[in-house]
Amino acid sequence: MQPLAERLRPTTLDDYIGQQHLVGPGAPLRTMIESGHIPSFILWGPPGVGKTTLAGIIAHSLEIPFYTLSAVNSGVKDVREVIERAGKNRLFSTHSPILFIDEIHRFSKSQQDSLLAAVEKGAITLVGATTENPSFEVIRPLLSRCQVYVLESLGKADLLTLLERAVTHDDLLRERGVKIVETDALLRFSGGDARKLLGIIDLLCAATPSGEIIIDNDRVTRQLQHSPMAYDKLGEMHYDIISAFIKSLRGSDPDAALYWLARLIEGGEDPKFIARRLVISASEDIGLANPNALLIANAAFEAVEKIGWPEGRIPLAEAAVYLATSPKSNSAYMGINRALEVVKSTGALPVPLHLRNAPTKLMSELGYADGYLYPHDYPHHFVAQRYLPEALADLRLWTAADNPAEQRAATLQANLRGTQTD
């Protein structure tokens, strides 16, 4: 028998749950379907939020030929064969056939290159689904030809709507009868993942061979403790464990960091995914308190790319321990966030004339570079002059954190500007 998630998979937008920012009235994907014009796009979001379902609904609504490839088990040859078949179908339709690629982030560069010409010529409409940031995983030429739509984890109301629909619309559940006593554990273990929620209901059905199926916190918890679903690297646990790993690094707990790293490794996580998180942590949480952390994290990333598994676990562990035991600072992270807020609120303020280049005579005559003071011509390689736009002359974005490295930098700044106080 099909899993509940397949039995309940919707075929129209009216039956689709969640993602109202994309499929609600006037939203981009609904407008796209209603207009009949479907450009290539990529759906980016966590597992179980309806990426595959949405692609299928689009094809079903417009009666467009629909081809599916999984990046896990498809090669360049498979891609070319599908494109060739799609091209033949193109002759009988006013719309380009849709090629849906699940987990497109797992496609190699050569596989993605094989898609590019077909997308450019309109031989196919590419719809990709990914749980990873397309900016990191999709080649730039292909990404530039695709709109990216971000899907969100399902909220409590969406999950409860899905539960109600399962209980009232699925023939098997209606025949058996379902008594909903409590939903806290069901929602917690689902983690915003529709497929996970329906999978838990399947588990409860299997654990109750006959009679009414009861959903309560105790039954859900007991079933999940004895099921492989309790660790699903593509589901809620994937995000929970990576969150625990990052927070352990931030919280300076090397033992916890190693434990969660081991959980990620045993769960089959992509080593580059782990390495990227180490680089982010080194920049966001350690920063200027220990700039070497970023070098170590980058070195671990390069080592993993070169040596792969299982030896790649060693540089990842080395970097994890180093980051966890490093002093912490988010001053640069906070500083750039504040700077971005200022730029958004003040717009494109002009660059002061003395800071501009003057490669031509006309620019010199207009005052470009006039009055610029070259710091290396002055004691301590510093001279006071304004570097910010005039309207922001007194702006301060960076605040030193209370660690030795940044306190030394702050003291140097104060001494240079003559603001040191005893």
- Same-domain check for residues 138 and 256: no
Note whether 49 and 165 are same-domain residues: no
290 near 327, Cβ under 8 Å? yes
Domain membership of residue 317 (yes or no) is: yes
Domain boundary at 229, 249, 268, which? 229
Is residue 292 in some structural domain? yes
Q: Based on the fold, state whether residues 146 and 183 are members of the same structural domain.
A: no
Query: Where residue 212 sits, what CATH number does that domain have?
Result: 1.10.8.60
Which pLDDT belongs to residue 230?
47
Residue 249 lies in a domain: yes
Q: Are 189 and 236 in contact (CB under 8 A)?
A: yes
Specify whether 57 is located in the same domain as 92. Answer: yes
CATH code of the domain containing 296: 1.20.272.10
Domain boundary among 150, 181, 198: 150
Same domain, 69 and 116: yes
Token pair recorded at residue 139: 């080649």
Do 318 and 245 lie in one domain? The reply is yes
Read off the pLDDT of residues 362-386 as tens digits, 9 standing for 90 and up. 777 777 878 888 888 888 888 888 8
- Judgement on whether residues 44 and 141 belong to the same structural domain of the protein: yes
Q: Which CATH number belongs to the domain containing residue 101 in this structure?
A: 3.40.50.300
Among the candidates 280, 308, 324, a domain finishes at 324
A 10 A CB-CB count for 16 gives 19
Count Cβ atoms below 10 Å from residue 33 Cβ, excluding itself: 19
Domains contained in the chain, number: 4
409: CATH: 1.10.3710
- The Cα 116–Cα 95 span in angstroms is 18
Report the pLDDT value the prediction gives residue 223, as an integer from 0 to 100. Answer: 83
Distances (CA, A) of 327 to 19, 91, 252, 293, 409: 40, 63, 8, 10, 16
The predicted structure's pLDDT at residue 91: 54
In a shared domain, residues 305 and 245: yes
The pLDDT tens digits along the chain (422 residues) read 789 999 999 988 989 999 999 999 999 999 988 887 888 999 998 888 999 899 888 878 887 788 888 777 777 788 888 888 877 766 555 677 888 888 888 888 888 888 888 888 888 889 999 888 888 788 888 999 899 999 998 999 999 999 999 999 999 899 889 999 999 989 988 888 899 999 999 999 988 888 899 999 999 988 877 544 444 544 445 677 888 899 989 988 888 889 889 888 877 788 888 999 999 999 999 888 889 899 999 999 999 988 887 888 899 999 999 999 988 888 888 888 888 888 888 888 888 888 888 778 777 777 787 888 888 888 888 888 888 888 888 888 877 888 888 788 888 888 877 743 33
Tell me the sheet residues that pair with 213. 178
Q: Is residue 339 part of a domain?
A: no
Question: Could you tell me if residue 341 is inside a domain?
Answer: no
Q: Are 207 and 265 part of one and the same domain? A: no
Range of the domain at 384: 352-416
| 10 is a domain residue | no
Same domain membership, residue 277 and residue 260: yes
On whether both 145 and 170 belong to a single domain, the answer is no
Query: Among positive and negative, which fits the CA dihedral 83, 87, 92, 97?
Result: positive
Same domain, 247 and 180: no
Does residue 332 form part of some domain?
Answer: no
